[in-house]
A and B are shown apart, each in its own frame.
Chain A
Amino acid sequence: MIVGRVLGPLVATHKHRKFEGSTLLLVQPLGDNDAPRGTALLAVDTVGAGVHEKVLLVLDGKAAGDAMQKKAAPVDAAIVGIIDHMDVA
């Protein structure tokens, strides 16, 4: 899993039926010291995350589908947690 920050929502009227009822959020992956790392991606939100929140992401089709509780969904990323804090020892 990785950590990211929510940039904002994406709206798509015409999409695969497995996405119906799902919220799609653009997320910026974060690296050390919360610096942006790599390209922003699009994830299905399964926890009700909001803009600016730091979130926990799965980048795996099986895990993302499980998070959506849908079988055979064409999805590869899902938000599965909202991070309160992280402590790097």
Chain B
Amino acid sequence: MQVGRVVGDVVATRKHDALTGVTLLLVQPLDPAHQPVGRVIVAADAAGAGVGEEVFFVRGREASFPFYPAEPPVDAAIVGIVDHWSAEGAHS
């Protein structure tokens, strides 16, 4: 998984049937110092996240698991909302 910040949402009226009802959010991946790193991605929201929140997301086939028995064609899904983290191991 990776941590990121929700920076927006995506609306697509015409889409794959299995994406119906799936909220799509824009997520900026973050490094351990909470700084942006890499490209913004679109992730399906399985945690009820909102813009500005720090979240963690899973990539790959497992991204569709929270939506079972639906099998939406997604490759990234937000599966948790972050309270806080420590990265003390980065400073040694």
> Taking beta carbons and an 8 Å cutoff, which residues of A are in contact with B?
5-16, 18-19, 24, 26, 28, 39-43, 51-52, 61, 64-65, 72-77
* Chain A interface, DSSP helix/strand/loop, else mixed: mixed
* Chain B interface, DSSP helix/strand/loop, else mixed: mixed
Residue of B nearest to A36 (CB): B90
Given A12-B83, A19-B79, A26-B85, do A61 and B62 touch, yes or no (CB 8 Å)?
yes
B residues within 8 A CB of A73? Answer: 62, 65
B25 contacts A by Cβ under 8 Å = no
What CA separation (Å) do A51 and B86 show in the bound complex? 10
What CA separation (Å) do A19 and B86 show in the bound complex? 18
Q: Are A51 and B89 in contact (CB under 8 A)?
A: yes
What CA separation (Å) do A2 and B46 show in the bound complex? 28
B residues within 8 A CB of A74? Answer: 46, 58, 62-63, 65-66, 77, 79
Range class of the B interface residue count: 35 or more
Q: Are B84 and A11 in contact (CB under 8 A)?
A: yes
Q: What are 5 A-B pairs with beta-carbon distances under 8 A?
A: A14-B47, A15-B81, A16-B47, A16-B80, A77-B1
What CA separation (Å) do A89 and B68 show in the bound complex? 46
What CA separation (Å) do A8 and B84 show in the bound complex? 11
> Taking beta carbons and an 8 Å cutoff, which residues of B are in contact with A?
1-3, 29, 31-32, 37-38, 46-48, 56, 58-63, 65-66, 68, 77, 79-90, 92
Q: Are B66 and A16 in contact (CB under 8 A)?
A: yes
